[in-house]
Amino acid sequence: MEIYGILEKVRAQKPLVHHLTNWVTIYDCANIVKVLGASPVMAHAKEESGDMAKLASSLVLNIGTLTPEFIDSMKIAAKSANEKNIPIILDVCGAGATKLRDEKCFELLDNVKINIIKGNASEVARIAGENVQTKGVDASEVEKDLIEIAASLAKERDCTVVITGKEDIIADKDRHLIVKNGHELMSHVVGTGCMTTSVIGTFAAVENNLVNAAAAGLCCYEIAAELAAEETNGPGTFKEKLFDNIYNLNKEQIEKMQKVE
Amino acid sequence: MEIYGILEKVRAQKPLVHHLTNWVTIYDCANIVKVLGASPVMAHAKEESGDMAKLASSLVLNIGTLTPEFIDSMKIAAKSANEKNIPIILDVCGAGATKLRDEKCFELLDNVKINIIKGNASEVARIAGENVQTKGVDASEVEKDLIEIAASLAKERDCTVVITGKEDIIADKDRHLIVKNGHELMSHVVGTGCMTTSVIGTFAAVENNLVNAAAAGLCCYEIAAELAAEETNGPGTFKEKLFDNIYNLNKEQIEKMQKVE
Amino acid sequence: MEIYGILEKVRAQKPLVHHLTNWVTIYDCANIVKVLGASPVMAHAKEESGDMAKLASSLVLNIGTLTPEFIDSMKIAAKSANEKNIPIILDVCGAGATKLRDEKCFELLDNVKINIIKGNASEVARIAGENVQTKGVDASEVEKDLIEIAASLAKERDCTVVITGKEDIIADKDRHLIVKNGHELMSHVVGTGCMTTSVIGTFAAVENNLVNAAAAGLCCYEIAAELAAEETNGPGTFKEKLFDNIYNLNKEQIEKMQKVE
């Protein structure tokens, strides 16, 4: 699978990636898009979220700090994105933790076309209708086979599904890929999950095959994390080195280190 | 006093620490909880702040960028926390600076049970009824004896009071502790005060003796700051090293460096 | 032109710099003020934004993640600042991207006295009435001579105009300065533009000549960026080193490296 080629397209086309995301990691989401070479924008006002989506090449939605009003702005941006036919990625952050999160995820999925659903195992399982309780925004254990859950949800919602974890699963109704890159330090710093979504949104902005786009994005991001981990011994400096390594990521590193199956 | 033992409990139990905090340092608040080994969550919508509190082991409130609506969400979360009997820590950030801040602090204190009140000298003095004008969110000078102010407020509100500064005072109605760790660089970077509150909230999630919990949290955090300061010469890299050093903090460092009296 | 002297005044007077800014880079805006030696505060509630402005020495407005309600709070803060006669700097972030941004910029400019307008070339050109479409929040190309645009807008609005770019232009109705410091890495990390505005706001808090204040602020900030770039090879660690270098910036570095014409 071509990975570096998609990163090259990101760097050459510098797509505008519109976000309605959470307030905790909003900086990291913007910055990861920037260091990839693309252009982030965050415009959540209902009066402009649709207009900004018209200028963008993809739309990232993340419900991490949702309110009902914020979901309404997401719907406006999403309808605009659907009309323009740009991909929408939804991070179902914290699905299963509260009634509000579950309801609003389904409200979004039922009212606009979401092209990629992304979450950790327990979040995606919840959206797929499995009986899972999520503890806050960190992953809980899921019994069932994750590839099966991803494929089934992809078929039900006619979309691509990404389940992140030690190994990432990317599936649409026809096939799936597994990305085995990454580093354990990623789970000890806030923002790595949200940044994953922004990375996938950025790659989806330049590559129509969304399974390939998501896998390539995950792979690049997680190779950079492996390189960063070699340069640090803690989560604080790790995150800064992650930005450095994505910015400097080259073809040789990707070809040597990629583990996409 | 046992300090490392409480940190070990944090790392073993990985408590969920719910926050309604300010938008400036929200990332740092989440990340300090994460690097301690616990699990942060921030859910401010009034429709879910109470539900999320039910899943949590402690609740951190910080009025740094308050609005009346945000305080309403705090009250919902706090009532839920009171019912579940999990500790609530309130950072009275900027108390004394504006009428709104004073009013809303008292509204919270009068309507829900707050277990720990935390602020710098001028903020806590204001809440204790002293005549102090706070300049923004940074500490102003206070004439009166701080231990006396802390103890008196603790008695009045039947809670634990933490006054941070060069030396930190932790008092309830019966006793007080002083933590003399820390480094001057902490006062030259935004977020160290808010992170202190999240650290205390995290330790309070696993230790019922709130004076001990607060003192242990402050001590660990400030030892990490001392270690970080040795590795840097400026506030930017200092903060990242602070995260690294908390993540890696061990028993020997704590026993050798702790200054809790 | 005296540059270090103004920085010294910032460090000695520690002015309170009030912000109503965007949610993406709010931490960076606060922190850059802090590492300069001043005191940042962010209070956006309409119930206190005016009161906080009365305590402050300058007011920074940034429309990066505006809503109509947020603009209303800005107007309250700005009226209070106008009454107290403290300088207001407006970052017209993303002007030209959506109808909402254009409308609200003009609403602010028409209803309160703005002392410094700051943006990149396409944003300022839009505010000056040129026909430019901005893509998100990053700069688009502008045909016309930028010094002419800045001077003309400064005359029209009786204010100081700052156009940032590879070379920064600072103009009022009588004269202009060019700052040629800075480093290319600044454009590869989110927040450098917003921080520029906070830096200018901080310098304007202690120096009445606003062209000099803005030029000195830009120069110090960009020299620190040059020093930071020498110590890193990527945008993540660059930003932390930028904070370190501003904190440690001294007279010799400024005199040797300054490029203000």
On chain C, the residues whose CB falls within 8 A of the CB of B240 are 240
Tally of CB atoms within 10 A around B54: 14
Q: In what order do the strands lie in the sheet with B176-179?
A: B39-42, B16-20, B58-62, B88-91, B116-120, B160-164, B168-171, B176-179
Express as a percent the part of chain C with pLDDT over 90.
Answer: 93
On chain C, the residues whose CB falls within 8 A of the CB of B68 are 45, 47
C22-36, pLDDT tens digit by residue? 999 999 999 999 999
CA–CA distance, C89 with C159 (Å, rounded to integer): 10
Residue for token digits 């979504």? A197
C186-206, pLDDT tens digit by residue? 999 999 999 999 999 999 999
Amino acid (1-letter code) at residue C53: A
Q: How many domains does chain B have?
A: 1
Contact A233 B248 (CB under 8 A): yes
Q: How confident is the model at residue C130 (pLDDT cuts 50, 70, 90)?
A: confident
Considering CB atoms only, which of C26, C40, C244 is closest to B236?
C244
Residue of B175, B169, B159 whose CA lies nearest to B90: B159
Q: How confident is the model at residue C139 (pLDDT cuts 50, 70, 90)?
A: low
Q: How confident is the model at residue A147 (pLDDT cuts 50, 70, 90)?
A: very high
Checking phi first, is residue A54 left (phi over 0); if not, alpha (psi -120 to 50) or beta?
alpha
Residue B103 in contact with partner chain C when CB distance is under 8 A: no
A109-137, pLDDT tens digit by residue? 999 999 999 999 999 999 999 876 666 76
Checking phi first, is residue B96 left (phi over 0); if not, alpha (psi -120 to 50) or beta?
left
Model's pTM, two decimal places? Answer: 0.96
CA–CA distance, B191 with B196 (Å, rounded to integer): 9
Tell me the shortest Cα–Cα distance from C116 to chain A, in angstroms.
24
| Lowest mean pLDDT across A136-150, A200-214, C236-250 | A136-150
Contact C133, C94 (CB under 8 A): no
Strands (E), A124-245: 160-164, 168-171, 176-179
Residue B29: closest C-alpha in chain C: C27
Contact B45 A25 (CB under 8 A): no
B188-241, pLDDT tens digit by residue? 999 999 999 999 999 999 999 999 999 999 999 999 999 999 999 999 999 999
Flag whether pLDDT at B184 surpasses 80: yes
On chain B, the residues whose CB falls within 8 A of the CB of C237 are 237
Residue of A15, A78, A42 whose CA lies nearest to A217: A15
Tell me the shortest Cα–Cα distance from A29 to chain C, in angstroms.
9
Considering CB atoms only, which of A42, A47, A55 is closest to C65?
A42
Between these two residues, C142 and C159, which has the higher pLDDT value?
Answer: C159
Flag whether pLDDT at C260 surpasses 90: yes
Contact B27 A190 (CB under 8 A): yes
Return the percent helix, strand and coil in chain B, to nearest 5: 50, 15, 30
Residue C181 tokens, joined: 């410091």
Tally of CB atoms within 10 A around A253: 17
Residue of B201, B221, B222, B214 whose CA lies nearest to B62: B201
CA distances A200 to A60, A166, A241, A243, C246, Å, are 9, 17, 20, 16, 35
SS3 of residue A23 by DSSP: coil
Tally of CB atoms within 10 A around C251: 12
Contact B228, B245 (CB under 8 A): yes
Contact A241 C236 (CB under 8 A): yes
DSSP letters, A54-122, are: HH-SEEEEE-TT--HHHHHHHHHHHHHHHHHT--EEEE-TTTTT-HHHHHHHHHHHHHS--SEEEEEHH
Q: How confident is the model at residue B142 (pLDDT cuts 50, 70, 90)?
A: low
**What is the average pLDDT across B136-156?**
83
On chain B, the residues whose CB falls within 8 A of the CB of A233 are 244, 248
Query: In chain C, what is the greatest distance between 2 CA atoms, to the nearest angstrom?
Result: 47
Interface test with B, best of C10, C16, C47 (most B CBs within 10 A): C47
Flag whether pLDDT at C135 surpasses 80: no
ipTM higher than 0.90?
A: yes
Strands (E), C121-257: 160-164, 168-171, 176-179
On chain C, the residues whose CB falls within 8 A of the CB of A30 are 24-25, 190
Q: How confident is the model at residue B1 (pLDDT cuts 50, 70, 90)?
A: confident
**For chain C, how far is it from start to end, CA to CA, in angstroms?**
9
**Backbone dihedral angles phi then psi of residue B177, each to the nearest 5 degrees:** -125, 155
Residue C129 in contact with partner chain A when CB distance is under 8 A: no
**What is the average pLDDT across B156-177?**
97
Contact B17, B41 (CB under 8 A): yes
Q: Is A208 exposed, middle or buried (0-12, 13-18, 19+ CB in 10 A)?
A: exposed
Residue A16, H or E segment: strand A16-20
b/e string for A25-57 if b means 16 or more Cβ within 10 A? bbbbbbbbbbbbbbbbbbbbbbbbbbbbbebbb
Q: What confidence score (pLDDT) does residue A112 get? A: 98
Residue A82 tokens, joined: 């659907």
Residue A178 in contact with partner chain B when CB distance is under 8 A: no
**What is the average pLDDT across A90-117?**
97
Residues with Cβ within 8 Å of residue B30, at least 6 apart in sequence: A24, A25, A190, B19, B40, B42, B198
A42-61, pLDDT tens digit by residue? 999 999 999 999 999 999 99
Range of A193's domain? Answer: 4-257
Residue A63: closest C-alpha in chain B: B43
Contact C56, C18 (CB under 8 A): yes
Tell me the shortest Cα–Cα distance from B170 to chain C, in angstroms.
26
**What is the average pLDDT across A5-15?**
98
Residue C140: closest C-alpha in chain A: A39
Q: Is A250 exposed, middle or buried (0-12, 13-18, 19+ CB in 10 A)?
A: exposed
- Tell me what the pLDDT averaged over chain C comes to: 95
For chain B, helix (H) and strand (E) counts, in that order, are 11, 8
Residue A41: closest C-alpha in chain C: C136
Contact A35 C236 (CB under 8 A): yes
CA–CA distance, A47 with C98 (Å, rounded to integer): 9
A180-214, pLDDT tens digit by residue? 999 999 999 999 999 999 999 999 999 999 999 99
Contact B94 C245 (CB under 8 A): no
Residue B23 in contact with partner chain C when CB distance is under 8 A: yes
Helix pair angle (B68-84, B99-111), 10° resolution: 20
CATH number of domain containing B79: 3.40.1190.20
On chain B, the residues whose CB falls within 8 A of the CB of C43 are 65, 94, 97-98
Residue B239: closest C-alpha in chain A: A236
C75-103, pLDDT tens digit by residue? 999 999 999 999 999 999 999 999 999 99
**For chain B, how far is it from start to end, CA to CA, in angstroms?**
9
Flag whether pLDDT at B165 surpasses 70: yes
